[in-house]
Amino acid sequence: MLRYIGRRLLQSVIVMLGVSVLAFSVLFLSGDPTYLYVNERASHEQIEKTRQQMGFDQPIYIQYGRFLKGAVQGDFGKSLRYGQPAMQLVLERFPATIELAFVGMFIAVIFAIPLGVLAATKRNSILDGGTMVFAMVGQSIPGYWFGLMLILIVGVYWKLLPISGRVPLLEPLLRGEFGVFFSSLGQGLRHLILPGIASGIWSLSRNTRLVRSSMLEVLGVDYITTARAKGVAEKKVVMKHAFRNAMIPVVTIVGLEVGFLLSGNIIIENVFAWPGIGRLIIYAINQKDFNIVQAGVVLLAFFFVIINLIVDVLYTWLDPRIRYN
């Protein structure tokens, strides 16, 4: 089992190396990245000067080596607009992104499991049909548009909830300022509800379907019949024997979804003026501040890899076949 985790760790490192290559090479899609850093009317001398400043005149492997060396230390250079280290800017916005992703995930999981399990056990009932229609529609709605509609209806028409901005929760918690945390909890949550729903709706729909189909499959397996033949009550058959087995594929998908949520939230963050990494990245793109883009991308990918590592460890707890091999 330790060996298994060790191997997964090594795989993660390889994946991160690959991510760094991707993040590095995106700039070179333009042919000569120098032009991304100068303005349109720059003279030939200015361009040459920038090229040397940025090191774009050196061989590509040296540039990558420098990029990688910096990346490992969290150094992606300075932001051209803010003048601050790119990574620092990204990290400042990280708690906001995490908060939103967490709420989205929470919604996507906490409702999906009971809905999916119920739909599976009451197969072909009205409840099942309704759940499936809901899930089908939910998977067809773009999250950002759903966000716009929430703003329009809940925010503008009903004036129930705030439609933009954020009250920090994670930062005071991390700093240990619990007084600040509890006093801002109410407002913070109110700000989180709409963007949270908008970001979670797609995953919620998909997870519901996934839980249902996974349950249905497990409920047809021989060991479920064994449990019934032992005289185990139906409720316990579902909740004890089927549920844990059915969760095995669900956990994998949910792990992958975290990554999807982080990146999908880029647009949600823009809709709700949520001060997270996504909003920063879009801003940086418009400002051609590519150091920030690189830093943001690498950080999100890193986070994604970590989550998947955790999922794999969780897996070993769920599935003894992996634990003991």
Partner 1 sequence: MSTLLDINDLEVRFYTPEGVIRAVDGVSLNLERGETLGVVGESGCGKTVTARSVMRLIPTPPGKIVKGSIRFDNKDVLALNRQELLAFRGGDVSMIFQEPMTSLNPVFTIKDQLTEGILLHQDISFEEAVKQAAHLLDLTGIPSARERLNSFPHQLSGGMRQRVMIAMAISCNPKMLIADEPTTALDVTIQAQILEIMRNLKSEFNMGIMLITHDLGVVAEMADRVVVMYAGRVVEIRKIRDLYADAQHPYTEGLLNSIPGSTEERKRLHVIKGNVPNLLDLPTGCTFRDRCEHATEKCAVEKPELVEVKPGAWVACFNYKDSRTKDQNKIQLTSEGEVSIDNRVSKEDRKPLVKVENLVKEFKVSGNFLGGKSKIVHAVDGVSFSINQGEVFSLVGESGCGKTTTGRLMVGLEEPTGGNVEIAGQHFYGASNKVQRRLRKEAQIIFQDPYSSLNPRMKVETIIGEGLRIHGDHMGRKEKEERIVEVVRSVGLEPYHLPRYPHEFSGGQRQRIGIARALILNPQFIVCDEPVSALDVSIQAQILNLMKDLQEEYNLTYLFIAHDLLVVKHLSDRVGVLYLGKMVELADKNELYGNPVHPYTQALLSASPKPDPGAKSDRIVLTGDIPSPINPPSGCYFRTRCNRATKKCTEEAPKLMEISPGHYASCHYI
Partner 2 sequence: MLKLIKKLNVTGIIPGEESFTAKEEELGRKRVSFHGRIFRSMVKAKTPLIAAVIILVVILMAAFAPFFAPNEPNSVDIRNRILPPAFIEGGISEYPLGTDTMGRCVLSRLIYGARVSIVVGIAAVFVAGILGTVLGIIAGYFGGIVDDIIMRLADIQLAFPFILLTISVLAVIQATRDVHQIDVNLIQRLLPLILTLGIAQWVVYARLARGEALSMREKEFVDAARALGDNHFSIMFRNILPNSIAPLIVIASFNVGSSIIAESSLSFLGLGVPPSIPTWGGMLAESRELLITGNLWLSTLPGLCIVFTVLSINIIGDWLRDFLDPRLRT
Can you read off the two tokens belonging to residue 78?
């300075």
Residue with Cβ nearer partner 2 (64 or 184): 64
Give the list of residues 6+ apart from residue 70 with CB closer than 8 angstroms, or none. 76, 77
Choice between 99 and 169, CB closer to partner 2: 99
3-state SS class at 235? helix
The site map against partner 1 for 113-142 (x = CB under 8 A) is -----------x------------------
Residue 223 touches which of partner 1, partner 2, none (Cβ within 5-8 Å per kind): partner 1
Query: Is position 179 an interface residue for partner 1 (rule: CB under 8 A)?
Result: no
Q: How far is the CB of 311 from partner 2 (least distance, A)?
A: 12
Residues in the chain: 325
C-alpha to C-alpha distance for 323 and 325, rounded to whole angstroms: 6
Q: By CB under 8 A, how many residues form the interface with partner 1?
A: 27
Residue span binding partner 1 (CB under 8 A) among the ranges 33-41, 154-162, 226-234, 280-288: 226-234
* 319 in Cβ contact with 262 (< 8 Å): no
Single out the residue of 18, 226, 273, 283 in contact with partner 1 (rule: CB under 8 A). 226
Q: What is the DSSP letter of 85?
A: B
Distance CA 163, CA 313 (A): 38
From candidates 53, 183, 187, 225, binder to partner 1 by CB under 8 A: 225
Quote the tokens at residue 64. 């990558």
If one asks whether residue 2 binds partner 1 (CB under 8 A), the answer comes out as: no
Shortest reach from residue 306's CB to partner 2, in Å: 10
- Per CB under 8 A, the list member of 10, 22, 110, 239 interacting with partner 1 is 10
Q: What residue 82 binds from partner 1, partner 2, none (CB within 5 to 8 A, per partner kind)?
A: none
Residue 149: strand, helix, or coil? helix
**Cα-flanking dihedrals φ and ψ of residue 78, to 5°?**
-95, 150
Strand partners, 85: 78
DSSP assigned state of 238: I
Number of other residues whose CB lies within 10 A of the CB of residue 320? 9
Give the torsion sign (CA, 41, 46, 51, 57).
positive
Site residues for partner 1, 230-269, by CB under 8 A, read 230-233, 241, 244-245
Q: Is 3 in the site for partner 1 (CB under 8 A)?
A: yes
Q: Which residues bind partner 1 (CB under 8 A)?
A: 3, 6-7, 10-11, 124, 220-223, 225-233, 241, 244-245, 318-321, 324
